[in-house]
Amino acid sequence: MRSFQVCQCGAPLECIEQPTPKPTGTEVLLKVLAAGVCHSDLHLSDGYFDLGGGKKLSIVERGMKLPVTLGHENVGEVVAIGPDARGVKVGDRRLVDPWQGCGECGVCRRGDEQLCLKPASIGVFRNGGYSTHLMVAHPRYLFDIGDIPPERAAPLACSGVTTYGALKKVGPTLATDPTVIIGAGGLGLMCLALHQAMGGHSAVVIDIDPNKREAAKKAGAAAVIDGGAPDAAAQVVAATGGGAWAVIDLVGSSATARLGLDSLIKGGKLILVGLYGGDITLSLPPFPMRAITIQGSYTGSLTETKELIDLVQRTGLPQAPIATLPLSDVNAVLKELRAGQVIGRVVLTPA
């Protein structure tokens, strides 16, 4: 098997050849059919998240062991099954839910493996799908994609379930009022598509890049706003008829979080998703006086992944733009992503 691994933080991924492993116990071995490239792979290959003020959150110190194969948005075909793996057979095409926990603690048993204190996420703490093959610990992480093409299904594992999980946190105003989405990259366009599939009222999309705003407009945004404009918050307040009930910040920088808070109506909610990095200082009295909420949202649960696949099968595919490139181009794709040159999603396929 050939895998593209982080061997040293900050360096390009290295192509490593090693014997293809055999599944034991409940493990399932898949041949990778499609592996989506996610913006967080840049942070993972750097080895840290920016906490703002010069502080860094080291992913290596949090348990990422090098070398590790990146890639957490994967669809594969089952090629071998451990003796204790039930419910799958060779030849099945499955989406892999990468957000694995220990499977045994209270958090995992409640169904929120993505919030387990001992995370074992695929493509972060375990080898991921930038590889010819992928080993999955248990069949419960595998989801039938029916007739969804692999390259369209793969991004559901991260950008899909992450935006779905965030949209669910919007609550009843999703259907009655505009939802504001900050960031119109791959995550933003997926969020927009799912917002429509979930019966969202309308979406106001914010991005500093005119090309990305144009892409959002084409994809059905009711209004697009330049986040870099000095009066951006006032524009959002005007576009939402008095302020937003919900802002989903898919960027997560100091500037976007500030803009999101400034755009809320009384009682509104800022849902923080993006991991760009930074920090903000907040006055406390406006929280109770404006009755606002800041809520973090991290990926989604196994149940949400199942709901999402059902939604996509019921309503049709979110037609977010997707480009496919061979796995061997992974370093070039990451470079383009870092330069902000990727519109929509890139999915790697076997060479």
Report how far Cα 109 is from the mean position of its chain's Cα atoms. 23
Q: What are phi and psi of 273, to 5 degrees?
A: -125, -45
Range in contact with Zn ion (rule: CB under 5 A) among 43-51, 116-124, 218-226, 317-325: 116-124
Nearest Cα neighbor of 165 from 114, 223, 131, 123 is 114
Binding of residue 158 to Zn ion (CB under 5 A): yes
Q: Can residue 311 be called a binding residue for Zn ion (CB under 5 A)? A: no
Sheet holding 2-6, edge to edge: 14-17, 2-6, 68-69
Question: Which region among 74-82, 134-142, 158-166, 289-297 touches Zn ion (by CB under 5 A)?
Answer: 158-166
Please tell me whether residue 90 binds Zn ion under the rule CB under 5 A. Answer: no
By the rule CB under 5 A, 347 interacts with Zn ion: no
Provide, rounded to whole angstroms, the least separation between the CB of residue 307 and Zn ion. Answer: 18
Nearest partner of 158 among 78, 101, 97, judged by Cα = 97
Listed residue (126, 2, 146) closest to 66, CA to CA: 126
Q: Is 105 in the site for Zn ion (CB under 5 A)?
A: yes
Least CB distance to Zn ion at residue 202 (A): 27
209 to 238, contacts with Zn ion by CB under 5 A? none
User: Euclidean distance between the first and final Cα of the chain, in Å?
Assistant: 13
Asked if 111 is part of the footprint of Zn ion (rule: CB under 5 A), the reply reads no
* Closest-CA residue to 208 (of 243, 184, 187, 178): 184
Closer residue to Zn ion (CB): 102 or 282: 102
**Candidate segments 110-118, 169-177, 281-289, 339-347, binder of Zn ion by CB under 5 A:** 110-118
Considering only CA atoms, which of 123, 127, 102 is closest in space to residue 112? 102
- Does a cis peptide bond (omega within 30 degrees of 0) precede residue 23? no
Q: CB nearer to Zn ion: give 70 or 216.
A: 70
For residue 340, CA distances in Å to 143, 152, 312 come to 31, 21, 28
247, 182 contact by CB (below 8 A): yes
Check residue 120 for interaction with Zn ion (CB under 5 A). no
Residues 227/180, Cβ–Cβ less than 8 Å:
no
Contacts of 8 (CB under 8 A, 6+ apart): 66
- Out of 6, 30, 32, 40, point to the residue binding Zn ion (CB under 5 A): 40
Q: Which of 76, 101, 165, 178 binds Zn ion (CB under 5 A)?
A: 101
Is 38 a binding residue for Zn ion by CB under 5 A? The answer is yes
Least distance (Å) from Zn ion to the CB of residue 274? Answer: 11
Identity at 249, one-letter amino acid code: D
Residue 102 interacts with Zn ion (CB under 5 A): yes or no: yes
Q: Which stretch binds Zn ion (CB under 5 A): 99-107, 130-138, 222-230, 260-268?
A: 99-107
Q: How far is the CB of 110 from Zn ion (least distance, A)?
A: 9
Does residue 116 touch Zn ion according to CB under 5 A? yes
Q: CB-wise, 145 or 273, nearer to Zn ion? A: 273
Tally the residues of the chain: 351
d(CA 88, CA 197): 29
Q: Give the whole-angstrom CA distance, residue 4 versus residue 14.
A: 5
CB of 289 to Zn ion, least distance (A): 36
Contacting range for Zn ion; rule: CB under 5 A; set: 16-24, 104-112, 134-142, 173-181 = 104-112
Applying CB under 5 A, does 166 fall inside the site for Zn ion? no
Closest distance to Zn ion from the beta carbon of 70 (Å): 10
Binding site for Zn ion (CB under 5 A): 38, 40, 101-102, 105, 108, 116, 158
